[in-house]
Amino acid sequence: MNVSTDPDVRTQIVATVRDFVKNEVAPIARQYDDEDLYPHHLIDPMREMGLFGITIPEEFGGLGLDHTTFAMIFEELSKGWMSVSGIIGTHHVMAHIVAGYGTQDQKESILPRLATGELRGALGLTEPEAGSDVQNIQTTAVRDGEEYVLNGSKMFITNAENGNALAVLAKTDPDSEPRHRGMSCFIVEKPATGLKIGQHLDKLGYRGLDSAEVLFQDCRVSTDALVGGVEGQGFKQVMFGLEGGRINVAARAVGVATAAFEAAIKYAQQRQTFGQPIAQHQAIQLKLADMATKIQAARLLTYEAAAKKDKGERIDLEVGMAKLFASEMCGEVTLEAMRIHGGYGYIKDFDVERYYRDAPLMIIGEGTNEIQKLVIARRLLEKYSI
């Protein structure tokens, strides 16, 4: 459970990130997105700001900030270029898993290196035949003395190429019923014998950040790599980590939508038709009003989920609602921003076309919105059972 961050400290941290985005991220976003270039030169400034350890407890070298500040940071990064937030996205999912369920030795060994960015984490969850159906994963981990041998493949893995550690979900008991009780989570550090990075994926959006296939071919890891030291807990551990992941995805959606709205309202006051700025036309005003209202609603849903997480409360309902609403809102707002720009919104000289391409990532990432709706409905039926 995170202690609430002092408001003055929060303001200072968010302002620092905002300046970083303005001076370092925004100027390169268009070129790096277009050429699908990884922003290696941004890593050291991000490390210096402590962005690899936002919510990692101070005792392990992190900033120990609350999840509301965490969300604000992701929002600011995503306003500049959403791909930059991905550098620390699944990294924090991995950190959350270790902080929540790791042994004391694992916490002391792994968390300080995550906090400094010496270790840059990824999440090895999705597979070619197992996306939303997590329990259908085929990757196995078989114990062999003081080691586990991993075999299988993962797909769409963010930070696979440029990260150097993965939290990998694998089956240690393939015959278990229910299936999720046969899953375990391992922290696999590079280099590891039998670990190979496969195809680099050329994506519609979320460009400049590596997403790739990860292959395990008789990959051997020490038994110390088993999170918590006990088999069969991996599904629960990863779902716990994904709670924080959904906060950051919702915050990213708010950030991208805000950037699109700000671009649209600025353009609407500059572009003239029929002798006046298009911002004076009611059709445009109605769009702007809807966009701003939906963004603020998504922001508040995200902050509410973050605040409940810091209190140690169950948040699968709240974070599911936040992720669902914010991501769908982002898709709508970025399209409306493009429509306000007209033909100019469809060309790469204007950033709204990038915002529009980035928006779908939040809809399908960190659990598709169709799955989110099922989770929300299931929790509502529990809450209102008769």
Of 116, 142, 171, the residue at which a domain comes to its end is 116
User: CA 103, CA 107: separation in Å to the nearest integer?
Assistant: 6
Q: How far is CA 346 from CA 71, 294, 379, in A?
A: 30, 23, 40
Q: How confident is the model at residue 319 (pLDDT cuts 50, 70, 90)?
A: very high
With 70 as the cut, is the pLDDT of residue 296 above it? yes
Residue 1 lies in a domain: no
Same domain, 153 and 93: no
Residue 211 lies in a domain: yes
**Any idea what the CATH number is for the domain that residue 204 is in?**
2.40.110.10
Of 90, 116, 142, the residue at which a domain comes to its end is 116
With 60 as the cut, is the pLDDT of residue 215 above it? yes
3-state helix vs strand vs coil in the chain, percent to 5: 60, 15, 25
User: CA 77, CA 81: separation in Å to the nearest integer?
Assistant: 6
- Give the burial class of 204: count Cβ atoms within 10 A of its Cβ; 0-12 exposed, 13-18 middle, 19 or more buried: exposed
Which tens digits make up the pLDDT trace of 175-206?
999 999 999 999 999 999 999 999 999 999 99
**Any idea what the CATH number is for the domain that residue 342 is in?**
1.20.140.10
Same domain, 246 and 375: yes
Residue 82 lies in a domain: yes
Domain, as residue range, for 23:
7-116
The secondary structure element, H or E, covering residue 33 is helix 26-35
Same domain, 54 and 139: no
Same domain, 274 and 363: yes
Same domain, 54 and 171: no
Counting the structural domains of the chain, the total is 3
Residue 300 lies in a domain: yes
Same domain, 69 and 168: no
Residue 222 lies in a domain: yes
Q: Which residue has the tokens 């306003």?
A: 79
Same domain, 198 and 279: no
By annotation, the residues acting in catalysis are: 366
Same domain, 109 and 208: no
Residue 2 lies in a domain: no
The tokens for 128 are 């070619």
- Listed residue (324, 307, 360) closest to 250, CA to CA: 324
Residue 140 lies in a domain: yes
Q: Which residues pair with 185 in a beta bridge?
A: 169
> What mean pLDDT do residues 312-335 have?
97
Residue 34 lies in a domain: yes
- Listed residue (145, 143, 146, 183) closest to 167, CA to CA: 183
Which tens digits make up the pLDDT trace of 150-180?
999 999 999 999 999 999 999 999 999 999 9
Q: How confident is the model at residue 1 (pLDDT cuts 50, 70, 90)?
A: low
Of 116, 135, 167, the residue at which a domain comes to its end is 116
Same domain, 212 and 132: yes
User: CA 184, CA 225: separation in Å to the nearest integer?
Assistant: 10
Concatenated DSSP letters of 91-124:
HHHHHHHHHHH--HHHHHHHHHHHHHTSS-EEEE
User: CA 11, CA 56: separation in Å to the nearest integer?
Assistant: 19
**Any idea what the CATH number is for the domain that residue 72 is in?**
1.10.540.10
Is residue 221 a contact partner of residue 147, using CB atoms and an 8 Å limit? yes
The dihedral of CA 293, 298, 301, 304: what is its sign? Answer: negative
Same domain, 375 and 266: yes
User: CA 372, CA 351: separation in Å to the nearest integer?
Assistant: 29
- Listed residue (174, 214, 171) closest to 194, CA to CA: 214
User: CA 198, CA 153: separation in Å to the nearest integer?
Assistant: 9
With 90 as the cut, is the pLDDT of residue 131 above it? no
- Listed residue (316, 249, 215, 208) closest to 90, CA to CA: 249
pTM of the model: 0.97
User: CA 191, CA 288: separation in Å to the nearest integer?
Assistant: 50
Which tens digits make up the pLDDT trace of 82-119?
999 999 999 999 999 999 999 999 999 999 999 999 99
